[in-house]
Each structure stands twice: as C-alpha cells, then as structure tokens.
Amino acid sequence: MAKTKLLIIGASSLVGRRLREAVAGDERFKACFTTRKPKHPDDLFLDLLRPEDFFGQGFEHVIITSPIWLITDEVLEVLWGQGAKRIVAFSSTSRFSKTFSPEPEERRVAELLARSEGKLVAFTATHDMTFTILRPTLIYDEGHDDNISRIAAFVDRRGFFPVCDGAKGMRQPVHARDLARAALRAVVSEAAADKAYDLSGGETLSYHDMVARVFAAKGKRPRIISLPKWLWQTGFWLKNTLSPPSALKTNINMALRMNTDMVFDHSEATQDFGYAPDGFRPYFLKQIEIALMGS
C-alpha cells in the first residue's frame, strides 16, 4: 500500500513535537515537517509570513499546528497551488469560552479564532479542498506547555498553590500526544471532511482536583490554599496599580474562571475518527530523575 504524503506545518509547536513522534511509527504516512528553523535533514523551511518562498513538493494532505490565525489566504493559495487537497487545522475552544470575557485581549483572541476558522472554511469551499478544524480544550505536555507546566513550576518554587473560592470549575485537560494522534486519524477520515470538532480530554475534574494531580505528579503532598474572590481582586488591583500587567497570563479573569465550568463534548470526534484521549495523569517524575542525575 502506498503511503500518504503528509505535510505537517509547525514542527516546534506542542502538537507538532508530538506529531513527529507519532508519525515516525505510523506506516500509513510519509511525512515532512515545516519550520522557520529546520533542525532535521528532511525538514522544510516555511515562514508563514512569507509563504511565497515555500516549495512543498506536492503534499495533498496537510496538518497545521501553528496558530490558525497565521494561516492566511496567501498561505492557503500556496498550499493549494502545490497540490493540497485536505487541510486539518488546530483552533481552540477558547473561541467559545472567552467570547464574553471581561478581558478585551481575550475577546480579541476569541474573535480572531472564529474569523480564522471562517476564512479556512470559505477558502476550501472555493478551491476543491476539504478541511477539518480541531478545537482542543486545555492542552498540556509536561515541561513544555503554559498551562499545567506553569502550575507545576509554581509548585516547585513555592511549595503551595493558591486558588480562588475553592476552584470548583470543571476542566478537561488534553495531552498534546492525544491531539497528535487525533490529527493523524482525522486527516485520512472521510467522515471528518468539512467538519469542526471540540477535542476535550478523557477526564472531567475540578480545577482544584486538577491542581492536586499536579502535586501528585511532582511527588508532593497537595498544599492548595483557597483565597476568597475579593482578596484576589484586591491583589490584582494593587499589582496593576503599582505595575501594569505585562502579559495576558496575569489577568484577574484567569483566577475568577477557576469556578467556571469549561466543558466540551468530544463524542462526535470519537464517532467519526476514533478519538480516544487518556485521563489526566501528568508525569513529571521523569524530569525530576533527569535533574537528579545531572546534579
């Protein structure tokens, strides 16, 4: 059986890293990766801001793990002109969960996601191509992400973790490894053509319990301190008064959302292309062992 020629855009992204691992053992595909800084001999150079310089060698199947708003009509024109027929692109459930956020930058990101999805749908409809949009929930990959690994880093530094009003909001963390497997299934699935899917993790648990799992993964007894909403608001007000916030990750709404459910149904993805994510079991002990060996 001939292998499917597959182009994967975004080799250094969370999912891209795991796709390199997943596709290496998959006999169905002959894959090439793109990056602005090729490190592997078979990698192809692609700057999404200058797609006209790209030569993709006629890949009909494409998985895009770079931010979907970087996939402009110019990028799609280049891929289509070089033979692309099927595009699988990653978006985010933030398109829905942050639409009405009090934080303007979060609303801007949600709008950008929705607009970018719409552009992909419109382009493929007029260029004899099919699309699949994958919207993960909270992505993690031990030591590499800005979500679970960020919590783990705080735990390492402080030995405790503060939450807001009990942190009862439900979460569904999904590992980048599961998303890589999902993309490989979706890109060859006829049932997934011209559809968008929410990809949640295999387990739903409260924010508080999610943090407790991180402590366990670090080999530590959970020390989770619940602070009232008013105290968080006062603390952020003082911080922003004395020093304006320098990053979206420090806004107060992240703390307040600890009590908001952010739950999505992935049953359609399971039905159409066999999506089967694992439960939330982060594993940091290997990193600890490596650190000890080097000390």
Q: In the chain, how many H helices and how many E strands?
A: 11, 13
Q: Tell if the pTM clears 0.95, that is, is over it.
A: no
- Domains of the chain by residue range: 4-286
Contacts of 167 by beta carbon, 8 Å cutoff, 6+ apart:
206, 207, 208, 211, 224, 226, 258, 259
Which of 87-91, 169-173, 207-211, 247-251 is least confident? 247-251
Using a pLDDT cut of 70, give the percent of the chain over it. 93
**The listed CATH number (3.10.105.10, 3.20.20.70, 3.40.50.720, 3.60.20.10) that belongs to domain 4-286:** 3.40.50.720
Contacts of 50 by beta carbon, 8 Å cutoff, 6+ apart:
none
What Rg value do the Cα atoms of the chain yield, rounded?
A: 20
Closest CA to 182 of 66, 274, 116: 274
**Tens of pLDDT along 184-214?**
999 999 999 999 999 999 999 999 999 999 9
| Mean predicted confidence (pLDDT) in 142-168 | 94
